C-alpha cells in the first residue's frame, strides 16, 4: 500500500473487504473480528448504509455490533449526494472519534455517486490514514478500491465489455475488488477489468469471507470461503482493444493464487504466503471449541 499519503508517525487502519453474506447468526467470526479491530468494548463504529435500498439495514448492523459489545454505533443517514455534500459538523465530529467505519451491501454506485469527490469522502480517507478501521461487505467491499467494478455479467471467460468500471472511494488504491466471487461466477469480469489496466491487483472475495489488509500491505484471509488473487502485471499479450463486444479476450501471462482462511498475500511483493504452524493450530483449536459448544 502507498504510505506516502499517511500522516507522519501514523499507520493506516486495517481494511476488511467482505465478500457478502457473512455469518450474522452463529459464530459471526468476521463481524467479531471487525469489532475487535475497532477496539472491542472501546469500539466507536460508524455504519454507512447508503448502498442499500432498505432503510433498516444500517440499524440491523448497529444492533449486531452492540451485541458484540461495541461501545457506540452511529448510523449515517445519507441516502443522496445532497445528504453527503451537506453533511453537518455533527457527522464530521462523529468521524473524528470513530475507530471503525462499516459500509453495507447494496449497490456500489449508490455509494460512489453519493460520496465521490465530497468533503465527507476526503474525511473518511484521512481518518483511515490516521488509523480508523475500514470495512465493507458486498457493494461496500467493491467501493473500497480506487478502480471499482460498478457492474458486469457473470461467467468464467473474460469478454469485451463484460464489466463496467468507475472510481471507488480509494482506500485501497492498488486493488480491484470483486465480491460474491465464486457464488456468482465473477472470474471473467475481474480478469476483463484487468485487461483494461493490468496494473492493479485483482482480488475476488467469496461470500462469508474477508480479505483483511494491514498497514504493511499484507492481506490475510478469514472466513469459510476463499480469496482469489489475480496478478496481471506480467501480462505479455492481450487483444482486449481489438476484439468485438462479447467476444473472448486473450490474456497471456496472468498469475492466479487461491487463498483460504489463514493464508496471506504480500501485496507489495505480489507473493502468496502460507499460514504458519501456530495459525493452523489456533484455527484447529477454534474448530474443536466451536464443535464442543454446539454439542
- Give dist(CA 286, CA 291) in Å, integer: 8
Count of other CB atoms within 10 angstroms of residue 164: 15
**Which of 138, 145, 195, 261 does the annotation list as catalytic?**
138
C-alpha cell at 130: 490516521
138 is catalytic: yes
- Give dist(CA 89, CA 93) in Å, integer: 6
92 is catalytic: no
**Which of 107, 128, 195, 207 does the annotation list as catalytic?**
207
Angle, in degrees to the nearest 10, between helices 119-129 and 89-97:
10
**Residue (of 152, 165, 250, 161) closest to 200 by Cα position:** 165
SS (H, E, C) 66-124: HHCCCCEEEEECCCCHHHHHCCCHHHHHHHHHCCEEEECCCCHHHHHHHHCCCHHHHHH
**Which of 74, 145, 150, 180 does the annotation list as catalytic?**
180
Angle, in degrees to the nearest 10, between helices 57-67 and 29-37:
80
180 is catalytic: yes
Helix (H) or strand (E) holding 233: none
What are the C-alpha distances in Å from 155 to residues 130, 143, 191, 274?
Answer: 39, 21, 11, 29
State the DSSP code for 129.
H
| Residues marked as catalytic | 138, 180, 207
Amino acid at each position: 500500500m502507498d504510505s506516502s499519503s499517511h500522516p507522519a508517525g501514523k499507520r493506516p487502519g486495517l481494511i476488511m473487504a467482505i465478500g457478502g453474506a457473512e455469518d450474522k447468526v452463529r459464530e459471526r467470526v468476521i463481524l467479531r473480528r471487525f469489532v475487535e479491530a475497532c477496539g472491542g468494548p472501546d469500539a466507536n463504529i460508524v455504519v454507512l448504509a447508503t448502498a442499500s435500498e432498505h432503510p433498516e439495514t444500517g440499524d440491523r448492523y448497529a444492533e449486531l455490533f452492540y451485541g458484540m459489545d461495541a461501545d457506540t454505533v452511529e448510523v449515517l443517514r445519507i441516502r443522496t449526494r445532497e445528504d453527503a455534500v451537506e453533511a453537518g459538523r455533527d457527522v464530521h465530529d462523529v468521524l473524528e472519534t470513530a475507530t471503525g467505519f462499516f459500509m453495507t451491501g447494496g449497490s456500489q454506485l449508490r455509494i460512489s455517486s453519493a460520496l465521490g469527490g465530497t468533503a465527507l469522502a476526503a474525511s473518511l480517507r484521512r481518518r483511515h490514514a490516521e488509523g480508523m478501521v475500514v470495512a465493507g461487505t458486498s457493494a461496500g467491499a467493491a467501493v473500497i478500491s480506487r478502480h471499482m467494478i460498478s457492474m458486469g455479467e457473470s461467467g468464467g471467460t473474460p469478454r469485451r465489455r463484460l464489466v463496467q468500471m468507475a472510481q471507488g472511494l480509494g482506500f485501497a488504491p492498488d486493488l480491484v475488488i470483486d465480491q460474491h466471487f465464486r457464488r456468482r461466477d465473477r472470474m471473467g469480469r475481474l480478469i476483463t477489468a484487468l485487461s483494461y489496466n493490468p496494473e492493479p491487483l485483482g482480488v475476488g472475495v467469496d461470500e462469508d469471507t474477508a480479505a483483511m489488509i494491514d498497514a504493511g500491505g499484507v492481506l490475510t484471509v478469514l472466513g469459510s470461503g476463499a480469496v482469489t488473487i489475480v496478478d496481471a502485471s506480467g501480462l505479455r499479450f492481450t487483444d482486449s482493444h481489438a476484439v468485438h463486444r462479447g467476444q473472448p479476450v486473450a490474456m497471456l501471462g496472468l498469475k492466479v493464487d487461491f487463498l483460504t482462511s489463514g493464508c496471506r498475500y504480500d501485496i507489495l511483493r505480489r507473493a502468496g504466503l502460507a499460514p504458519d504452524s501456530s495459525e493452523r493450530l489456533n484455527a484447529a483449536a477454534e474448530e474443536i471449541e466451536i464443535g464442543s459448544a454446539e454439542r
